[in-house]
Structure 1
Amino acid sequence: MPILTVIAFLHWLVALGVLVWGLSEESPFLIALAIATAIAGILFLAFERVISLLTDIRDAVGPKIHPDKKSKAERIGGDEENFDPATQSLKDDLDRIRAGLPPIEKPS
């Protein structure tokens, strides 16, 4: 995520500006603010690195798509080994709507 790197560099740029301002004004508050902003930039850079590592790990061990595996649309089509009563209920409601009948109200 390059946007986090850009944000980190912007934090460092702002920290440098505030540090120069704080040193010229001899204000401990502005110097502390510059230090805190620089630390925030470091945290953004570290967060970007963590996100990129987690993305790499996800891509390396994530589920692979197998050609013999059925898609979700094929499973909804009425396959007996993957029968789901909720899916069947939705399918029945869709059939009733297509036929022009209102769906059956189910008690909650």
Structure 2
Amino acid sequence: MTEEPESLILELLRQMRAELGDVRSDIGQMRAEFATKSDLNLLRADLHSLRADVASDLLSTRKELGEQIVGLRRAVIEYHTSVIGHGVLISELEARMRRVEQHLNLPSLFPA
């Protein structure tokens, strides 16, 4: 014969108590793993400071690039001015050489 508990309801209540204890311990572990409000507030503050740092870095990078572009434009203008100046000098020398060739009746070095 199987042994019957003294009360079926009492046995069921004991099982429910044991299961409830397991559920409580599971909830306790979950609470330990979840972030608290203070953790979230700290994370928010960190995100705000990181966002400010990135914005600051972007502004400084934009400013540096702008300065480099201005310097590059200046260098190109100076080079262009120099090249045009040399071109003018060469054109003047070519005209002068033609006049000398014509004056001395020499064949032209620069065919027309």
TM range (shorter): 0.3 to 0.5
* Larger RCO, structures 1/2 (Cα 8 Å, 6+ apart): 1
Please tell me whether Structure 1 or Structure 2 has the larger radius of gyration of its CA atoms. Answer: 2
What is the TM-score with the length of structure 2 in the denominator? 0.35
